[in-house]
Amino acid sequence: MSDGGRYDLAVIGGGPGGYVAALRARQLDCSVALIEEREVGGTCLNRGCIPSKALLYAAHVLDTCEGASRFGVVVGEPTVDVARLRRHTQRAVKQLVSGVETLLSQAGVDLWPGHGSFMSEHEIAVSSDDGEARLEAEQVVVATGSVPVVGVIEGTDSEHVWTSDDAVAVPRIPESMVVIGSGATGMELAAAYLHFGADVTVMELFDRPLPREDQDASEVVMRTFQRRGGRFEVNAHVRRIEDTGDIRRVIFERDGEERQIEGDVVLLAIGRRANLAGLRGEEIGLEIQRQGICVQEGVSTPASEPGRPAEPMCPGAQLKTSLDHVYAIGDCIRGIGLAHLAMHEGVAAVEDSQGLESSINYNAVPTAMYCHPEIASVGLLEYRARELGIDIEVGTFPFAANGRAVCTGKREGFAKLIADPHTGKLLGATVCGTYTTEMIAELTLAIEQGLSAEAIIEVIHAHPTLSESIHEAALSVYGRPLHIPFA
């Protein structure tokens, strides 16, 4: 055992939230230890956001090649080279991880490879193959992230039952795949493997895919997926998975009747849970509940329930745990979350620990889903407003009437704004279509700043762009769109 020294701040977990917290702390002239058991960048860079988006872009390229003739471009029949596809994702991961490592090194962050666990309130053990070191820290940020949920369904221990970690590694393109779960992870990977040639069926416990997204957006994605040959089994309660050696058989129940579906591979995409194994937080007094580490009231609930109104501004102090000098951020406080939210929470936690004022507007946290077509949203969703009895005005504009969408042949989707009917203040927005994840920043800024739909109307949007649809949706809030027929 070696003495690791004393630090102003120790960050346990080197994912997006953790490494950003470490960098911000160094900007504030803190001595920082960053403890990471695997690779810096965490799940996002290594096994999640980045490799999955690299796969999805490859699927987009394939889709473009297959449809090239409709634009007057004739190419040969495209095929998928799995080895090259795998190298493409690995290159993207390697480049970004290397970039983060360089940032940390140049900033003067001490990187401690190994598993971090509390020995006392201010003492942390770092265990690795080289032995164990102990370091002390005045302040601690826990950013241990999450891991895929497994084991809740009987029969998931087969090598042919994949998690998202397996799927982004692209071991092969199976002939058929059954995806259990139609959230962001399930639908993104289902879309990629469907484009690559697998026969894909997506199973969902609720009555529609993407049940936590805007209902109209969910329907657009469902139609597009089905047009390409994908299938859905909704209202499906999966009971077990049987591995016969040649095939995987998923047994599920619907309307009291047991049914089954077969696939070469089963992909488990039923969620993630907080990664707290071996942290020993409870031994030093951290309050931990089912969803993860407990922080001050007002943080974990809004971020884990997309589309539900939250307290507008949460100060960084609300990221404190039951111990005043220990903060927790990201997935480890809610089981599943967003990398960009974890980054902002990392900054807010560090700034609060150093006596600076910092806050996060949980009503202005965008989500970006890279299924086909994409969905991006921020703030209040229409169906949530209806459920909660909130009076709203809705303005929508279809991409089928947008010049850029028509030119590119990507006409599916829409822009939708949710506004207060009395003041016009924007409460939420959803955009669904090709590359709409790049459009959500404007709407996030509008909601962050408390702007009205009228403020969007006053902004001149370049033509021809997809963002013109946001302008038209804002006009629709007031019943005066220019590019759709009068009612």
Nearest CA-CA partner of 312 in 383, 365, 350: 365
For 144, phi and psi rounded to 5 degrees?
A: -80, -5
Cα separation of 10 and 30, whole Å? 10
CB 30 within 8 A of CB 55: no
Cα separation of 252 and 195, whole Å? 26
Q: Any idea which residues carry the catalytic annotation?
A: 463
Q: How far is CA 137 from CA 30, 36, 141, 241, 391, in A?
A: 11, 16, 10, 46, 49
Tokens representing residue 258 in the block? 């047991």
CB neighbour burial string for 365-396, b if at least 16 within 10 angstroms, e if fewer? bbbbbbbbbbbbbbbbbbbbbeeeeeebbbbb
Distance between terminal CA atoms of the chain? 76
Cα separation of 267 and 172, whole Å? 13
Number of residues that this document lists for the chain: 487
**Residue 96 burial (C-beta neighbours within 10 Å; 0-12, 13-18, 19+):** middle
HSE on the CB side for 28, CA within 13 Å?
20
Tokens representing residue 31 in the block? 């001595």
Task: Indicate the pairing of strand 32-36 with strand 2-12.
Answer: parallel
